[in-house]
Structure 1
Amino acid sequence: MEIKSIKKLKLHGFNNLTKTLSFNMYDICYTKTVEDRNAYIAYIDEQYNAERLTKILTNVSNIIGANILNIAKQDYDPQGASVTILVCEGPVNPEQCEHSSDNESPGPLPDAVVAHLDKSHITVHTYPEYHPDDGISTFRADIDVSTCGHISPLKALNYLIHSFDADIMTIDYRVRGFTRDVTGKKFFIDHKINSIQNYISGDTKDRYHMIDVNVYQENIFHTKCILKEFDLDNYLFGVTKKDLLPGEKKKIKKKLKKEMEEIFYGRNMPKV
């Protein structure tokens, strides 16, 4: 099913549609010893502390054109962090809306952040954790960008992907509520969208396998992604492939692949 392009609406009052982007990223790692595991968790905790996450979300606010009202941030003991930003809508200046959400296209990259407009909240929570026996450590970050009004938070997606460089991503986008035009007719979506993938840059799509699960009649869109290439060195912390025996490398690769497949498919895989 294809959603046809919607002409610019003449609204009665404010645009009451709520658009929510949920972006979940996963970083997978193998740590051979308890010391390596603790070092990895500490590294991730520092890499994605509340201060850096605040900078990322501030740039997200700029990309979607939001005015920041308040920032609450917290690093947790022993690990993890949360940031919540409240934002409000600003006036629309069409000449500044270079990344308008009226078309399906990727938003800016981290080195090309621009501003334009809208309202609600942005949150991030991080979850470093590890398998008690298998040496697998998994870091997850959950980001929600919720706006009301004309623009779509999907324009921040390209920036978020490049900011985290994840092994696995799950992305959800939903439009809720309705708005009215000047005749009183209800509109349950105000922009064309066929797939979240259309908001992701080509270089990213080349690197990931992507699967869509969309419910068009409910304005619900879901895309999950997993890296195509697997280099064991990218998943080791504290050691390299050269430090491992051939049998160890095979066993560790099998554990990592199982962890990634379980996260990607959302179910536990049988042991083989």
Structure 2
Amino acid sequence: MDKLRLHGFNNLTKSLSFNIYDIAYAKTERHRQEYIQYIDDLYNADRLTAILEQVTEIIGANVLNIARQDYEPEGASVTILIAEHPVAPDPEELTPTPGPLPESVVGHLDKSHITVHTYPESDPDSGISTFRADIDVSTCGVISPLKALNFLIHSFDSDIVIMDYRVRGFTRMEDGKKIYIDHKINSIQNYMDEDTKEKFEMIDVNVYQENIFHTKMMMKDFDIEQYLFGSGSNEFDEAELTEIERRIRREMQEIFYSRNLSEGPQAKSE
């Protein structure tokens, strides 16, 4: 696509949002403690900050400010403000001072931001725990959050990924004509690598005339060992493993289709 000749700054806002679901089975107290440790290792503020800083580099932006927080017993939030162009240092940054305390580190982006918030959730009866990470990459100007698409998908243990991409506002060309989108797209899948497409079942719900694109993804392959703690499948008999798999698959399908599914005649009572 030829470079657009614009009147002033590119005012289009491009927003890419992820809901990433990581599902696990933790019925006993020992398994629940292992699950909490797993979440603390994978979704702590330090690791999330490192991932978002890499996203900033991938999309060609510059960090202005970072704010982050860990929560008890698990989960974290990180917000990074970004700029499209290098930012000159604040005069105060050039003045010798003691500097900030470690727990008060903050980061900024100019007119753009990257955020992640995590949400732990569990069913006390079934033993299913579903950890959700919400990630938003919002940019203004020529930089695109779509460049970070594949990196973010592969940065987490994602069983379900639900994505929204929207281009908002308009920018004006030199002749006064308004431009409501500055790149070709008919699906978020256009920007996915083949490896991602092979691993996930996907469906689209798009509103082309409004530049709104929605894609749902569910992991195709199922390995029960990936969802268990302790000694894995060795701690359960065949009937128990069959029931656990049914519960996990049901959880995945309900999230993927956004509705509660009927138990069916094969379901077992607690």
Q: TM-score range by the shorter chain?
A: 0.7 to 0.9
Question: CA shift at 1:218, angstroms?
Answer: 0.3
In the alignment, does 2:73 pair up with 1:81?
no
SS at match of 1:192: coil
Query: Which amino acid counterpart does residue 30 of structure 1 have in structure 2?
Result: Y
Whichever of the two has the greater Rg, that structure is: 2
From 121, 125, 132, give the equivalent of 2:124.
132
Q: How does 1:1-272 map to 2 (within 5 A)?
A: 7-90=2-85, 120-272=112-264
SS at match of 1:36: helix
Deviation sequence 1:212-270 (CA, Å, 0-9, x none): 11110000001110011111111112242233111101111111111111111111112
8 A Cα contact 2:118 2:132, kept in partner? yes
Aligned to 1:114: none
Query: Which amino acid counterpart does residue 62 of structure 1 have in structure 2?
Result: E
TM-score (norm 1): 0.85
Cα distance in structure 1, aligned partners of 2:153 and 2:73: 26
SS at match of 1:42: helix
8 A Cα contact 1:20 1:153, kept in partner? yes
SS at match of 1:249: helix
Where structure 2 has 5 or more consecutive residues not aligned to the other structure, the ranges are 87-109, 265-270
Cα distance in structure 1, aligned partners of 2:119 and 2:157: 16
8 A Cα contact 1:41 1:128, kept in partner? no
Deviation sequence 1:123-175 (CA, Å, 0-9, x none): 00111221111110111111000000012201101110111131110011000
Cα distance in structure 2, aligned partners of 1:80 and 1:252: 25
8 A Cα contact 2:36 2:73, kept in partner? no
Cα distance in structure 1, aligned partners of 2:166 and 2:180: 11
8 A Cα contact 1:119 1:149, kept in partner? no
Aligned residues: 242
SS at match of 2:155: helix
SS at match of 1:151: coil
Query: Which amino acid counterpart does residue 202 of structure 2 have in structure 1?
Result: M
Aligned to 2:104: none
Question: CA shift at 1:119, angstroms?
Answer: 5.3
Deviation sequence 1:168-205 (CA, Å, 0-9, x none): 10011000000000011101001001111111111111
Aligned to 1:111: none
Question: CA shift at 1:70, angstroms?
Answer: 0.4
8 A Cα contact 2:61 2:143, kept in partner? no
TM-score (norm 2): 0.86
Cα distance in structure 1, aligned partners of 2:23 and 2:116: 19
Identity of aligned residues (%): 67
Deviation sequence 1:24-65 (CA, Å, 0-9, x none): 111111113122113202321222100010000000000111
8 A Cα contact 1:31 1:238, kept in partner? no
Q: Which structure 1 residue ranges, 4+ long, deviate > 6 Å from structure 2?
A: none
Where structure 1 has 5 or more consecutive residues not aligned to the other structure, the ranges are 1-5, 92-117
Q: CA RMSD in A?
A: 1.5
Question: CA shift at 1:122, angstroms?
Answer: 0.4
SS at match of 1:158: helix
Cα distance in structure 1, aligned partners of 2:84 and 2:229: 43
Query: Which amino acid counterpart does residue 190 of structure 1 have in structure 2?
Result: D
Cα distance in structure 2, aligned partners of 1:130 and 1:25: 15
Cα distance in structure 1, aligned partners of 2:189 and 2:111: 24
